[in-house]
Structure 1
Amino acid sequence: MDVSTPADDENTARHAALRATARQLLVKLGAAGLSPETVAEGSGLSVADVEAVFPHRDDLLTALVTDAYDASGAAMEEADRSAAAAGASAGARLLAVTRALRTWSFDNSAEFTLIYGSPVPGYHAPQDTVPAATRTPAVLAGIVRSALAAGELTPPRRAVPGPPLLLPQAVQLFGGTPEAPFSDLVERGMVLWSSLVGLLVFQVFSRTHDSVRDESAYFDFAIAVAAESIGLSVPLDGTAARAETR
């Protein structure tokens, strides 16, 4: 039963409208240009009205960071559901979700920059952003777990030396430490994740445009190379149709 009141609905609508204005200003002004004052000017509300919802700049940034992580994670999750429903292999699913994140990153470059670019001076993301931020690695971890369960992984030639290199919460996100010979699979998954983000940074910020003939094809190739570090084969023979052509 819906127990919301008109006041609740109005607050929700205002919250959404202010976030939308803040996203528009993020594109125009960058994170440094966001403040209750600029959002008030952009929304036609008073500064007091904005501050009633977002008292400080950091509150605005936290809302946008959370939205960006949620939106990019949702794009990956949807791509994975579609690929899994079509019976795709783990490697094809990985290619589908990374392409989905690439498309989102180009389509929302200001938000991509906010979460993966240079830190905003004076801003430190609070714990509230962690659940949204974990959606991307959770999608990757789910695919890797599926590959492991289906016997689609090739055992590594090199094991991580010494004690575990990751914190317990990172291993918990994956679902625990796999048995040998895949006991370092979580560490390898972190390599895959960081390679994906680094590759997107290079492409979104045009670090490869003057050296790569076909950036979309290069992205696929780089994901396949990174996947080899966890023993996963990614199909590059046209069996997984390319999602976009940037």
Structure 2
Amino acid sequence: MDLSGTSAADANDTRPEVIKAAARQLLVKSGAGGLSLEAVAGDGGLRVADVEAVFPHRDDLLTALVIDAYNESGAAMEQADQIARDAHASAGARLLAVARALRQWSFDNPGQFTLIYGSPVPGYHAPQDTVPPASRTPAVLAGIVRSALEAGELAPPRRAVPGPPLLLPEAVELFGGVPEAPFSDIIERGIVLWSNLIGLLVFQVFSRTHDSVRDESAFFDFAIAVAAESIGLDVPSGENTD
């Protein structure tokens, strides 16, 4: 790491980003399982002692990478949603816009996508610090569904969730409370939509559909529209959200 022309304070300010940049490159090459402070130092041309001074343990570095990945992907969705809202787009168009934004981020950053949505890293347990960043994606989706509900853009479901509510209090709080019937299970349906989105991205980023789908981008839009039907939201075919 070349620190020439910088003060010690400047070096300390920039070193975390330099280390994380090297770690993100290593994620692409070796995956999270191959991430170690020694490997990051060697791959980035850094001294192990310099890496350890900022991230004493591998898990400290992993946590920083996880938080960055959630924040960056969440910010991409939030920006796309704001653009769609400024254009007075329908809730369905907003949903497609944010889904496309997350898809683009995922393809642009496959190592980071795999870190947060791939297989768990052996021996790593994400701390509480990762929860708020991880909540940004479902928060964007919840905001769109809430807007659709308030604007009367949702069709009533044909089947209600049986039995008692299936939700934790945190999920209800994120949405802003349980709506009245016939939309009292909309939060559960929103979680299904969220899981469908992530599962679809896993299939596309890891090339699980390349041998069966002719146009991956068009199929993605179609799949989002189908998933949106489960919450009674219409995503117009061929909707232009750019």
TM-score (norm 2): 0.94
Stretches of 4+ aligned residues off by more than 3 angstroms: 6-10
Deviation at 1:11, TM superposition (A): 2.5
Task: Indicate the percent of aligned positions where both proteins have the same amino acid.
Answer: 78
Which deviates further from its counterpart, 13-22 or 38-47? 38-47
Structure 2 residue aligned with 1:112: 113
Alignment pair present for 1:90 and 2:96 = no
Structure 1 residue aligned with 2:239: 239
Structure 2 residue aligned with 1:75: 76
Structure 1 residue aligned with 2:3: none
C-alpha distance in 1, partners of 2:165/2:212?
38
Structure 2 residue aligned with 1:22: 23
Structure 2 residue aligned with 1:136: 137
Compared with structure 1, are the counterparts of its residues 9 and 179 closer, same or farther at alpha carbon in structure 2 (3 Å cutoff)? Answer: farther
Deviations, residues 183-206 of structure 1 (Å, cap 9, x unaligned): 111000000000000111111111
* Cα pair 1:227 1:234 within 8 Å, conserved: yes
1:63-212 equivalences in 2 (<5 Å): 63-212=64-213
C-alpha distance in 2, partners of 1:24/1:201?
20
* Cα pair 1:62 1:126 within 8 Å, conserved: yes
- The unaligned stretches of length 5 or more in structure 2 are 1-6
Deviation at 1:228, TM superposition (A): 0.6
Alignment pair present for 1:12 and 2:13 = yes
C-alpha distance in 1, partners of 2:136/2:12?
27
Equivalenced residue count is: 236
* Cα pair 1:192 1:227 within 8 Å, conserved: yes
* Cα pair 1:34 1:60 within 8 Å, conserved: no
C-alpha distance in 2, partners of 1:142/1:133?
15
C-alpha distance in 1, partners of 2:8/2:162?
58
C-alpha distance in 1, partners of 2:42/2:162?
56
- The unaligned stretches of length 5 or more in structure 1 are 1-5
TM-score (norm 1): 0.92
CA RMSD of aligned residues (A): 1.4
Deviation at 1:129, TM superposition (A): 0.6
